[in-house]
A and B are shown apart, each in its own frame.
Chain A
Amino acid sequence: MERKIKVLLAKLGLDVHNRGVITVAKELRDAGMEVVYIGNALPEQIVAAASQEDPDLVGVSSLGGAHLSLGRMLIDQAQAAGLYPETVFMIGGVFSPADAQKLKALGFAGVFPPGSGREEIVGFVRQAVAA
């Protein structure tokens, strides 16, 4: 039997919009993955939760404009804690095309702007974890 993929999800910082992350949580769970959603959390809280939960992938959601500042802190702190690059990171939210490129360069393997479909996201997680 295939091992269950474990995903940790969080809302990045103080962003108020959670429809997207709740939708992704449900879709990953429906796809047979184990999902832990910790709600709003700062980078250090996400890193602490990831250290404890040991997920295959960490996904964060940011629609409030702070994706670059908090995204950078998250990857830096994950690296300092030895989580990155072993653990895959993905991010969803409202970004300009230029910012989406910057997020990829920062270390988010998956970057999902508005309009991202279920297959796109579920497929990415399966592939990224298998790789």
Chain B
Amino acid sequence: MASTKPTTKEILARAAGGSETPLYNPQALAQIKAGFDAWREASVRPADRENWAQAPATVLGSEIPRNMLYTPLDVADLDYARHLGNSGQAPFTRGVHANMYRGRRFTRRQLAGYGGPEDTNQRIKFLLDHGATGISIIFDLPTIQMYDSDDAIAAGQVGMSGVAIDSVEDMDRLFADIALDQVTVSLVTHYPSNSALLFPMYLALAEKRGIPWEALKGSIQNDVTLEEVVRSGPEYIPPRDCFRIQCDNMEFIRRNVPQWNFQTLNGYNLREFGTSAVTEMAVALANLVESMEELIGRGLTADDLGQRAAFFWSIGNDFFEEVARIRAVRRLYGRIMTQRFGVTNPRAAWMRCHVQTSGVSLTRSEPLNNVVRAGFHALAAVLGGAQSLHVDSYDEAYSVPTEEAALLSLRTQQIIETETGVCEVVDPLGGSFYLEALTNELESRILDELAEIEGKGGYVAAVESGWLQARIRDYFHRERERMERGEIRVVGENAYQGETKLPEISVFEYPEGVEERMKARLGELRLRRDNAAVEAALKGLEDACRGGGNLLPASVQCARVLCSEGEMFKVFKRAFGLWRPPALW
């Protein structure tokens, strides 16, 4: 489907104009050019001249060619105020706050989630006791895929790789002894659908504890890409309905839970699934633009919405590319919000992000090497100016991280923060000819891919048609080929291989009896609760799904009267029907 609407790229091009006050004067540039040409002829070996631009072959890289040396000629039109600005000033390339980490360090946020809610409650307390400043909750497979612990489909998987939550009572156990108005909680509800089922349980819990929704701080993910593109699951609702639920979540939360980030556009899982450094960000921005348009149509303003948009990026191996990428998307987001959506509140133009270090870039062989890899990833994220960080543990290719491995990840963050001194200076790599040229190139490529998606009829259309899925599949098949050919080299895996023997590392053991406990508890809940109220609430949810209004008030009501997640998801399936995603192989 061809689109006649102008693309974001076209809109930004109109607003851009030329470089008003270039940093380098023409005379200096001419001198540098003459000197550079002479140097290249006299001092650079012919082989290096021929291979002047080379793309690093890295896992999940963009394949942008890099010159052997960067000079002012590569950023000849750099206009300090227009392209960089000081930190806290538009276009926010150098950071969203003037003082950045001097004012506030990045949030040291580690994932927690396994077993039943009591088990994860222990891990949360352990992390908070050791200086974590935020908590991310991950859910087990049945919870994330929206089935109850006692559903036949959940057999053998309850409490695995996340925490099992069936109802608001489990949410209560998960946060036992934790003051909801004192912590910031990231509920890693990847999908719009489960965000619309699980976040209402959090809201109902706050009500029960007498904490006003206005006092709650944290985030959900709520991203169509995760539900319809990245996920493998038995049942999918159609992308249009999924997008509607995503926007319902955003609208409801913006109006009722003002300090809560209503969406964390998740590039991370998309990239880790297998896509380039550029596609990761282009897809997130495509979803953002379409959601903004929808919500502005519902009467919200871009100024109001922009303040609560958040992003989640994967930061991996190509060190400078990763630093540049965070800067590039921060500038691009700022430009989109101001030039396309006309925001005037600076907060609404701040690209705030959580970063998780890349899991796919870690290896099973010689797992301690992963400590080093994740350390570099984390440093890149900090030099890029991320707001919040999770460092992957070295044992990710074995199991859920052990307590020891999770602590080492937290310590990695604390060492960067406390011992390296990198937090003292804002955007320390800014002004590097290389980094600025790379930032420009990345911004331009992200914008090109965004325009490509918009040209396909927009974000939802690109998901519906399978275009986006095909692009991702092509990327990861090609990457696998390059790994197989030895073109992408990974230490201990296909480069510098050592003994194949795996070292002894201790591995996480799941607690016993979680499934039985969750099933028994849910069975007891179904007998104890007011089932007439449950039926009425589920009927209300179905009406809301079929009707045109926001469905969140109805799902909050379901949570209040102790409906289970699976019961609520059944309503979605009945109301919206099922969708068959395109085959990817």
Query: Which residues in A have some Cβ–Cβ distance to B below 8 Å?
Result: 11, 13-19, 22-23, 25-27, 29, 35, 37, 39-42, 64-66, 69-70, 73, 94-99, 113-115, 117-118
Min CB gap A64→B, angstroms: 5
Encoded as 1 (CB less than 8 Å from any A CB) or 0, chain B from 499 to 527 comes to 00010000100100000000000000000
Instruction: Known pairs A16-B232, A66-B156, A73-B155; list 13 more (Cβ under 8 Å).
Output: A13-B153, A16-B141, A18-B232, A26-B477, A27-B480, A39-B234, A65-B141, A65-B399, A65-B400, A95-B398, A97-B398, A118-B480, A118-B484
Query: Which residues in B have some Cβ–Cβ distance to A below 8 Å?
Result: 141-142, 144-145, 147, 152-157, 160-161, 230-234, 273-274, 363-365, 396-400, 473, 476-477, 480, 484, 493, 502, 507, 510, 583-585
- B585 touching A94, Cβ below 8 Å: no
- A40 touching B585, Cβ below 8 Å: no
Residue of A nearest to B154 (CB): A14
Main secondary structure of the interface of B (DSSP, over half): loop
CB contact between A13 and one of B157, B231, B502 (< 8 Å): that residue: B157
CB contact between A65 and one of B152, B161, B493 (< 8 Å): that residue: B161
Residue of B nearest to A63 (CB): B161
Q: A13 vs B147: C-alpha distance in the bound complex, in angstroms?
A: 12
- B493 touching A64, Cβ below 8 Å: no
Most buried by A among B147, B396, B397: B397
- B233 touching A14, Cβ below 8 Å: yes
With A11-B232, A14-B142, A16-B232 given, is the CB distance from A69 to B157 under 8 Å?
yes
Contacts of B397 in A (CB 8 A): 94, 113-115
Residue of A nearest to B160 (CB): A65
Contacts of B493 in A (CB 8 A): 115
CB contact between B365 and one of A35, A37, A94, A115 (< 8 Å): that residue: A115
Smallest CB-CB A-B distances: 10 pairs: A69-B156, A65-B160, A18-B232, A96-B507, A14-B141, A66-B157, A65-B161, A25-B585, A22-B585, A40-B234
Contacts of B365 in A (CB 8 A): 115
Residue of A nearest to B398 (CB): A96
Most buried by B among A14, A18, A26: A14
Contacts of B160 in A (CB 8 A): 64-66, 69
Q: A70 vs B480: C-alpha distance in the bound complex, in angstroms?
A: 28
Residue of A nearest to B230 (CB): A16
Q: A71 vs B397: C-alpha distance in the bound complex, in angstroms?
A: 19
- B141 touching A98, Cβ below 8 Å: no
Contacts of A64 in B (CB 8 A): 141, 157, 160-161
Q: A25 vs B476: C-alpha distance in the bound complex, in angstroms?
A: 13
- A26 touching B585, Cβ below 8 Å: yes
Contacts of B230 in A (CB 8 A): 16
Contacts of B232 in A (CB 8 A): 11, 15-18, 39-40
Q: A69 vs B399: C-alpha distance in the bound complex, in angstroms?
A: 15
- A115 touching B507, Cβ below 8 Å: no
Contacts of A35 in B (CB 8 A): 585
CB contact between B153 and one of A18, A37, A42, A97 (< 8 Å): that residue: A42
Contacts of A95 in B (CB 8 A): 398-399
Min CB gap B490→A, angstroms: 9
Contacts of A115 in B (CB 8 A): 363-365, 397, 493
Q: A126 vs B438: C-alpha distance in the bound complex, in angstroms?
A: 46
Contacts of A94 in B (CB 8 A): 396-399
- Chosen A-B contacts, 9 in total, with CB atoms closer than 8 Å, are A14-B144, A14-B234, A19-B476, A23-B477, A42-B153, A97-B507, A99-B507, A113-B397, A115-B363
Q: A42 vs B145: C-alpha distance in the bound complex, in angstroms?
A: 14
Min CB gap A40→B, angstroms: 5
Contacts of B583 in A (CB 8 A): 37
Contacts of A113 in B (CB 8 A): 364, 397
Q: A35 vs B584: C-alpha distance in the bound complex, in angstroms?
A: 13
Contacts of A18 in B (CB 8 A): 232, 584
Q: A41 vs B497: C-alpha distance in the bound complex, in angstroms?
A: 37
With A94-B399, A115-B493 given, is the CB distance from A13 to B507 under 8 Å?
no
Residue of A nearest to B190 (CB): A16
Q: A41 vs B232: C-alpha distance in the bound complex, in angstroms?
A: 11
Q: A21 vs B33: C-alpha distance in the bound complex, in angstroms?
A: 52
- B273 touching A19, Cβ below 8 Å: yes
Q: A109 vs B343: C-alpha distance in the bound complex, in angstroms?
A: 60
- A70 touching B398, Cβ below 8 Å: no
Min CB gap B508→A, angstroms: 8
Residue of A nearest to B157 (CB): A66
Contacts of A69 in B (CB 8 A): 155-157, 160
Residue of B nearest to A61 (CB): B232
Q: A65 vs B189: C-alpha distance in the bound complex, in angstroms?
A: 19
